[in-house]
Chains A and B, each alone.
Chain A
Amino acid sequence: MKHLKRIGLLLALVLALGATVVLAQDAPSGELEIFSWWSGGGEAAGLEALIARFGELYPDVSVINAAVAGGSGVNARAVLTTRMLGGDPPDTFQVHAGEELNAVWVAAGLMQPLNAIYEANGWLEQYPQGLLDLITDEEGNIYVVPVNIHRSNVMWYNPARLEEWGISVPTTWDEFFAACEVTMAAGVPAISIGENWTQVHLWESIALGVLGTEAYNGLWNGTTSWTSPEVVATFETLGRVYDCANEDLNSLSWQDAAQRVVNGEAAFNIMGDWAAGYYLVDLALEPGTGFGWAASPGTDGTFMMLSDTFGLPVGAPNAGAVEAWLSFVGTAEAQDLFNPIKGSLPANTTADIGNAELYNAYFQDAYSDWTSNEIVGSLAHGLVAAPAFSNAFAGLIAGFQANGDAAGAAANAALLAIQTGLGS
């Protein structure tokens, strides 16, 4: 009798489980918590647009937008780690493609493979192979769905002001320093720089310009020595760029720094192309006249990329709804909805990039670079190095700003690379 009862209970349990699985596949319902750091400006507007369209497709799912403010995810990652450690993962979360995903979440076995979704939607042919490589492990499991592509090495300027000062867009750092003398004489800093992470961002653009594509990649796979004179030169260049910058550099957000350029309070700003979204959506400026852009000095022909992605963590409370969300955000429709507002390129190649109403002059230009340039990964945005390295490197940049010792900074970076096992 007792045994029968147990078997009956088990059967009931199995049936109930099966029923929920079937239900989940049929029509997802319940709550879906989406965790990101898109809390303001074009980023938040883009996410809202995605959520609104998702709500039309899946009216039974109620979305919780759990965005944590802070550029480049600096604060959101802290909250996310705490929740993951506490066994309370959000249903899905934003993460940069590359090492930030692989060295942390995938290495810890906390992500679920999404190959089924890719195959069901035919995305394996629709996403660029180079991007897929960044989010696939050695066994061929794909872990996230990229929603966009950003370019990191972009220099922004105000065309009318440059004409006023009589300077042209520098294509090398030497030309930049020549322009710096002109604008400094006019009492205007040549470059606007913001808080610490924007300086790491600046350094990676300088490093790419000074080292070139191959040696820059060598930093991350161990073939370029951190103490070589060329790497020391990247820090020396950064030091000289500090001398051309605004005095209050550590206290500006990236938006403040980007705005200085259009206000004519600085000549140039180096920031990822989310700045385009900020100029277009928040400041309502025309591309080409209100703001201009170029590859950062010395990096023409190279596209330093980063990509925002969403995945399915192990233990997500509502996996069915997450699968629906991921199947949605990877489509060309969702990417055409999201990217023009956020100010980024679609990761799905079947997106309607040729549509000039959706993607304006900046995006057309960036997309042609994306498809023709050499591609390298960003340090400041988690692509090429694990957080253990990039976090300490941010501290190293802060220390360098305080003491200006380029050789010392390079030596410390070499030490850090060994400690964190970079390139091994």
Chain B
Amino acid sequence: MRGTRDRTIAILMLAPSVVLLGIFVYVFILSTAYTSLTNLDSMRQLGGIAPDFVGLKNYLDFFGFSPLDTRFRIGFVNTIFFTILFIAVCLGLGLLLAVLLDQKIKGEAIFRTIFLFPMALSFVVTGVVWRWLFNVNAGLNRLPTLIGLPQGTFEWHTSQQRILEFSWQDFPTIIAVIIGLFVILPAFYYVVQRRSRTAIYVLIVAMLINGYLLFVATPSLWTANARPETHGFNLAIIAVVVAAAWQMSGYTMAMYLAGLRGVAEELREAARVDGCSELNVYRRIVLPLLAPITLSAMIILGHISLKIFDLIYAMGGGDLLQIDVPGMFMYLETYRGFQPARGAAVAMIMLILVAAVIVPYLYTNLKGEAKK
């Protein structure tokens, strides 16, 4: 009897927030998803013309079937490089700072505060400050002159240099190669060596995807757009990574520090007694225990970098294509181009990217909890 009453009260208490969340998050996500499948246009809307359903046209246009949407693809490629570099730098720096602070040094609290402080700023402030610091003739580039070296010549966020160039029509091939290296080969190994059934399914799905990418997507991309469209790693992204990592590596440090404090001192002592060197204590004992922290940090950093907008806007003012991101394109298409449907399609692509990072994480977490 008691249990049902508790349950009723719990449901009643939760209901308002569930309903509000349901409407203001999930219903709106669905409405955005629907909008992205139409040709909603503010101008037509003003004239009272209802939007038509156009299916996946907006998505196909972005991913190569309209030669006019180069800007989306520039942003998409930039986001990939930015996310990889940003996560790598933040994790590396954060771990380094955390390990250094963990050495029981004097004034640890002060250093911790200093390293954590940039996180308190908004990305807009960070963007403006770093835009000044990256000024080609007045900022960081002048530092070497203080010790008599020639002035730096890298143009930071305004640099037009691009490396690792590829044409967009080769993008499916590149994805296929990556899938081949990181999914098909390991799956093949598991099938042959361990005779795993899951690996067979994975192998089949991956081969199907690759077949589609190589034999369907690539030729149709070339038909839609016969001119090779060059993309690559814009070196200007490095400047954004520096600014973003400056802000977020302190946060990563705090996460790692909490993790380090959670590693029982007895474990380290035991390792030392067994004759383990201090370096190996970290390598063999501490780092493996920090793996869950690394995963959490990657999720948090990853969803920041995939959604980033404010930092880019503050640094580049919206038109600096070398550091363009999908968030910027979404804003411009919706408000400057008066095409909310295309903006909604970008929003859905960003949601899918973030979900691809977060959902597996939530899934493993929830599974872990259920086991307990």
Please list the residues of chain A having a beta carbon within 8 angstroms of any beta carbon in chain B.
Answer: 74-75, 77-78, 81-82, 84-85, 103-105, 107-110, 195-197, 247-251, 253, 386-388, 391-392, 395-396, 398-399, 401-403, 405, 408, 411-412, 415-416, 419
**Least Cβ distance of B332 to chain A in Å?**
8
Can you give 11 contacting A-B residue pairs, CB < 8 Å?
A81-B335, A85-B45, A251-B131, A251-B157, A251-B317, A387-B337, A399-B71, A399-B74, A401-B321, A402-B74, A411-B227
- Counting from the closest, the 6 A-B pairs by CB-CB distance are A78-B335, A196-B319, A108-B46, A399-B70, A248-B158, A108-B47
Which of A75, A401, A403, A412 touches B68 (beta carbons < 8 Å)?
A412
Q: Interface digits, B67-100 against A, CB 8 Å rule (1 contact, 0 not)?
A: 1111100100000000000000000000000000
> What residues of chain B lie closer than 8 Å to A107, measured between beta carbons?
43, 47
> What residues of chain B lie closer than 8 Å to A405, measured between beta carbons?
227
Interface size for B (C-beta < 8 A) is: 33
> What residues of chain B lie closer than 8 Å to A78, measured between beta carbons?
335-336
B320 nearest CB neighbor, chain A only: A250
A395 with B227, Cβ < 8 A, contacts A82-B335, A108-B43, A388-B338 known: no
Bound Cα distance A50, B89 (Å):
54
Bound Cα distance A415, B69 (Å):
12
In the complex, whether B290 has a CB less than 8 A from a CB of chain A is no
Instruction: Tell whether, in the assembled complex, residue B158 and residue A250 are in contact, meaning their CB atoms are under 8 Å apart.
Output: yes
**Least Cβ distance of B309 to chain A in Å?**
14
> What residues of chain A lie closer than 8 Å to B227, measured between beta carbons?
405, 408, 411
In the complex, whether B42 has a CB less than 8 A from a CB of chain A is yes
Bound Cα distance A360, B78 (Å):
49
Instruction: Tell whether, in the assembled complex, residue B336 and residue A104 are in contact, meaning their CB atoms are under 8 Å apart.
Output: no
> What residues of chain B lie closer than 8 Å to A108, measured between beta carbons?
43, 46-48
> What residues of chain A lie closer than 8 Å to B42, measured between beta carbons?
81, 85
B45 nearest CB neighbor, chain A only: A85
Bound Cα distance A110, B43 (Å):
11
Instruction: Tell whether, in the assembled complex, residue B67 and residue A104 are in contact, meaning their CB atoms are under 8 Å apart.
Output: no
Bound Cα distance A398, B317 (Å):
14
A388 with B68, Cβ < 8 A, contacts A78-B335, A250-B320, A402-B321 known: no
In the complex, whether B260 has a CB less than 8 A from a CB of chain A is no
A387 nearest CB neighbor, chain B only: B338
Instruction: Tell whether, in the assembled complex, residue B70 and residue A110 are in contact, meaning their CB atoms are under 8 Å apart.
Output: no
> What residues of chain B lie closer than 8 Å to A197, measured between beta carbons?
319
> What residues of chain B lie closer than 8 Å to A250, measured between beta carbons?
158, 316, 319-322
Bound Cα distance A326, B74 (Å):
45
Q: Interface digits, B45-58 against A, CB 8 Å rule (1 contact, 0 not)?
A: 11110000000000
Which of A109, A249, A387, A402 touches B70 (beta carbons < 8 Å)?
A402
Bound Cα distance A253, B131 (Å):
14
Total number of residue pairs linking A and B with CB closer than 8 Å: 100
In the complex, whether B297 has a CB less than 8 A from a CB of chain A is no
> What residues of chain B lie closer than 8 Å to A196, measured between beta carbons?
318-319, 321
**Least Cβ distance of B334 to chain A in Å?**
8
Most chain B beta-carbon contacts within 10 A, residue among A248, A249, A391:
A248
> What residues of chain B lie closer than 8 Å to A103, measured between beta carbons?
43
**Least Cβ distance of A266 to chain B in Å?**
13
Please list the residues of chain B having a beta carbon within 8 angstroms of any beta carbon in chain A.
Answer: 41-43, 45-48, 67-71, 74, 131, 136, 155, 157-158, 160, 227, 229-230, 316-322, 335-338
Bound Cα distance A142, B290 (Å):
71
> What residues of chain B lie closer than 8 Å to A387, measured between beta carbons?
43, 337-338
> What residues of chain B lie closer than 8 Å to A395, measured between beta carbons?
68-71
Instruction: Tell whether, in the assembled complex, residue B71 and residue A408 are in contact, meaning their CB atoms are under 8 Å apart.
Output: no
Instruction: Tell whether, in the assembled complex, residue A248 and residue B317 are in contact, meaning their CB atoms are under 8 Å apart.
Output: no
Which of B43, B158, B322, B335 touches A104 (beta carbons < 8 Å)?
B43
Instruction: Tell whether, in the assembled complex, residue B158 and residue A247 are in contact, meaning their CB atoms are under 8 Å apart.
Output: yes
Bound Cα distance A399, B158 (Å):
16
Instruction: Tell whether, in the assembled complex, residue B68 and residue A392 are in contact, meaning their CB atoms are under 8 Å apart.
Output: yes
Bound Cα distance A250, B156 (Å):
13
Known: A84-B46, A388-B337. 4 other contacts (CB 8 A): A75-B336, A195-B320, A196-B318, A248-B136
B331 nearest CB neighbor, chain A only: A78
A415 with B67, Cβ < 8 A, contacts A108-B46, A391-B337, A405-B227 known: yes
> What residues of chain A lie closer than 8 Å to B45, measured between beta carbons?
85
Bound Cα distance A104, B44 (Å):
9
Which of B48, B68, B158 touches A251 (beta carbons < 8 Å)?
B158
A386 nearest CB neighbor, chain B only: B43
> What residues of chain B lie closer than 8 Å to A110, measured between beta carbons?
46
Bound Cα distance A398, B72 (Å):
12
B319 nearest CB neighbor, chain A only: A196
Instruction: Tell whether, in the assembled complex, residue B158 and residue A195 are in contact, meaning their CB atoms are under 8 Å apart.
Output: no
Instruction: Tell whether, in the assembled complex, residue B337 and residue A392 are in contact, meaning their CB atoms are under 8 Å apart.
Output: yes
Bound Cα distance A378, B325 (Å):
29
**Least Cβ distance of A58 to chain B in Å?**
31
Bound Cα distance A104, B229 (Å):
33
B158 nearest CB neighbor, chain A only: A248
Bound Cα distance A82, B334 (Å):
10
**Least Cβ distance of A194 to chain B in Å?**
9
Bound Cα distance A402, B47 (Å):
36
> What residues of chain A lie closer than 8 Å to B336, measured between beta carbons?
74-75, 77-78, 391
Instruction: Tell whether, in the assembled complex, residue B70 and residue A247 are in contact, meaning their CB atoms are under 8 Å apart.
Output: no
Bound Cα distance A103, B42 (Å):
12
> What residues of chain B lie closer than 8 Å to A249, measured between beta carbons?
158
Instruction: Tell whether, in the assembled complex, residue B70 and residue A195 are in contact, meaning their CB atoms are under 8 Å apart.
Output: no
Bound Cα distance A388, B155 (Å):
33
> What residues of chain B lie closer than 8 Å to A195, measured between beta carbons?
317-320
Bound Cα distance A398, B337 (Å):
15
**Least Cβ distance of A179 to chain B in Å?**
23
> What residues of chain A lie closer than 8 Å to B74, measured between beta carbons?
399, 402
